[in-house]
């Protein structure tokens, strides 16, 4: 029996524009994004974890629209939702002008985060003890005006977190860049080395910022992990996306992947040499996408079915493919194609309640 269990998510990027998708599919992807967070909360309740750790970039930007803001503020009101600990990232830093982190600005709209949601509002590490648990969750925030080159795990930055305090198990939730593993296209923010992570006073570090899942093991246990973006946010975020269930014991930490994104981005090459029209290019890329879905054991469906079945997903669309190929349909070439394909055969019926 683990001493504590958490559900870790990060980089949801609520309010992201999804400009890489065809205009008619962006709203749908935003609904899927919100459903992924509803599903994460449902998973946390179902798995009876002690808390939900959000390691930054819950929001894509400071100026999110009112619907997105309303959704986020209310999603954690689900009955049985455990404590939620949020460490803002470089996309949603804490600031006085933040419409979601500043309680007064939020209150002006008549909203407030539920009592059990705790937001770390300082770049200095601070702790939150969980009632009835041996775990102390330590977090920090990105804040506007603080250089993102600041090293969060530098011993000078750790402050009180390094002080001896008896028997508490310390877990960290933060946003930062593991040096040497920066994915292409991402910026360095809050850098740290493996050595700093290993020497830190935390039994486990829940990290956000990198959108692909990865982990750092030490002495046979997971010491730090990125859950990756909860759903694919950009066309280069291939593979499965979701959350991590983190099980913490005195001498052992394990993580288990929990899939949340019902689609996957596939990268495929389609031979369009000989294609004489934009239409032929589209047909070729659509066939390639169908083949990729079939290869992944997934059924591309051309129709909407019931709202709880796995076949609700749209087919592998030629969405970005046609954008990319359409520019020069007359010049035969091999073309890389990114389209979100149907990915879900999760058996569990999910909540579809309104925010």
Stretch that binds Mn ion, among 57-65, 247-255, 264-272, 329-337 (CB under 5 A): 57-65
For residues 85 and 137, is the Cβ–Cβ distance under 8 A? yes
Rounded-to-integer distance, Cα 335 and Cα 339, Å: 13
Stretch that binds Mn ion, among 8-16, 63-71, 77-85, 102-110 (CB under 5 A): 8-16
Residue closer to Mn ion by CB (options 130, 244) is 244
Closest contact distance (angstroms) between CB of 189 and Mn ion is 9
Rounded-to-integer distance, Cα 234 and Cα 70, Å: 24
Quick one: CA torsion of 198, 195, 221, 172, rounded to 10 degrees?
A: 50
Stretch that binds Mn ion, among 5-13, 28-36, 70-78, 296-304 (CB under 5 A): 5-13
Stretch that binds Mn ion, among 9-17, 107-115, 246-254, 282-290 (CB under 5 A): 9-17
CA angle 165, 167, 170 (to 5 degrees): 75
CB atoms within 10 A of CB 319: 23
Rounded-to-integer distance, Cα 19 and Cα 88, Å: 24
Closest contact distance (angstroms) between CB of 103 and Mn ion is 24
Residue closer to Mn ion by CB (options 11, 245) is 11
For residues 135 and 249, is the Cβ–Cβ distance under 8 A? no
Residue 60 interacts with Mn ion (CB under 5 A): yes or no:
no
Nearest residue to 89 (alpha-carbon basis) of 139, 20, 24, 132? 139
Stretch that binds Mn ion, among 49-57, 276-284, 310-318, 319-327 (CB under 5 A): 49-57
Residue closer to Mn ion by CB (options 211, 263) is 211
Alpha helices in the chain (DSSP H): 23-46, 66-75, 103-108, 155-158, 194-199, 278-295, 319-326
In this structure, the strands spanning 214-218 and 221-226 are antiparallel
Residue closer to Mn ion by CB (options 11, 39) is 11
Closest contact distance (angstroms) between CB of 256 and Mn ion is 22
Residue closer to Mn ion by CB (options 57, 282) is 57
Residue closer to Mn ion by CB (options 11, 32) is 11
Closest contact distance (angstroms) between CB of 211 and Mn ion is 6
Closest contact distance (angstroms) between CB of 12 and Mn ion is 9
Residue 57 interacts with Mn ion (CB under 5 A): yes or no:
yes
3-state SS, residue 234: coil
Closest contact distance (angstroms) between CB of 309 and Mn ion is 31
At what angle are helices 278-295 and 319-326 packed, to 10 degrees? 140
Closest contact distance (angstroms) between CB of 61 and Mn ion is 11
Closest contact distance (angstroms) between CB of 209 and Mn ion is 6
Q: What residues have CB less than 8 Å from 12, skipping those under 6 apart?
A: 33, 36, 37, 54, 57, 58, 59, 229, 230, 231
Closest contact distance (angstroms) between CB of 32 and Mn ion is 17
Task: Give burial (CB, 10 Å; 0-12/13-18/19+) of 19.
Answer: exposed
3-state SS, residue 290: helix
Residue closer to Mn ion by CB (options 9, 289) is 9
Nearest residue to 195 (alpha-carbon basis) of 218, 221, 228, 227? 218
Residue closer to Mn ion by CB (options 14, 161) is 14
Stretch that binds Mn ion, among 6-14, 104-112, 219-227, 247-255 (CB under 5 A): 6-14
The residue count for binding Mn ion (CB under 5 A) is 2
Residue closer to Mn ion by CB (options 61, 346) is 61
User: Which one of 7, 11, 117, 204 is in contact with Mn ion (CB under 5 A)?
Assistant: 11
Residue 92 interacts with Mn ion (CB under 5 A): yes or no:
no
Residue closer to Mn ion by CB (options 11, 314) is 11
Contacts with Mn ion by CB under 5 A lie at 11, 57
């Amino acid at each position: 029996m683990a001493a504590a269990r958490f559900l870790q998510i990060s980089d949801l990027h609520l309010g992201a524009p999804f400009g890489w998708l065809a205009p008619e599919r962006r709203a749908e992807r935003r609904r899927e994004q919100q459903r992924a967070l509803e599903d994460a909360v449902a998973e946390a309740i179902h798995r009876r974890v002690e808390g939900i750790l959000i390691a930054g970039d819950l929001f894509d930007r400071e100026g999110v629209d009112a619907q997105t803001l309303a959704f986020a503020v209310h999603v954690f009101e689900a009955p049985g939702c455990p404590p939620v600990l949020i460490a803002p990232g470089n996309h949603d830093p804490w600031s006085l002008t933040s419409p979601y982190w500043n309680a007064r600005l939020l209150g002006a709209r008549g909203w407030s985060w539920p009592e059990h949601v705790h937001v770390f509002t300082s770049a200095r590490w601070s702790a939150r003890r969980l009632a009835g648990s041996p775990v102390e969750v330590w977090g920090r925030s990105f804040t506007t005006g603080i250089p993102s080159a600041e090293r969060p795990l530098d011993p000078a930055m750790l402050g009180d977190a390094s002080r001896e305090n008896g028997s508490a198990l310390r877990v960290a939730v933060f946003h930062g860049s593991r040096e040497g593993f920066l994915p292409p296209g991402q910026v360095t923010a809050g850098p740290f080395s493996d050595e700093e992570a290993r020497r830190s006073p935390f039994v486990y570090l829940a990290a956000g910022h990198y959108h692909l899942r990865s982990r750092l093991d030490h002495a046979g246990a997971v010491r730090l992990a990125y859950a990756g973006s909860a759903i694919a946010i950009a066309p280069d975020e291939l593979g499965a996306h979701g959350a991590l269930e983190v099980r913490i014991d005195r001498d052992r930490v394990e993580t288990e992947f929990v899939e949340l994104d019902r689609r996957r981005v596939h990268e495929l090459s389609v031979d369009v040499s000989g294609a004489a029209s934009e239409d032929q290019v589209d047909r070729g890329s659509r066939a390639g996408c169908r083949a990729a879905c079939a290869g992944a054991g997934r059924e591309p469906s051309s129709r909407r079915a019931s709202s709880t079945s796995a076949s609700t997903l749209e087919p592998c669309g030629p969405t970005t493919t046609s954008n990319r190929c359409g520019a020069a349909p007359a010049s035969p070439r091999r073309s890389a194609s990114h389209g979100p394909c149907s990915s879900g055969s999760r058996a569990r019926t999910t909540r579809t309640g309104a925010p």
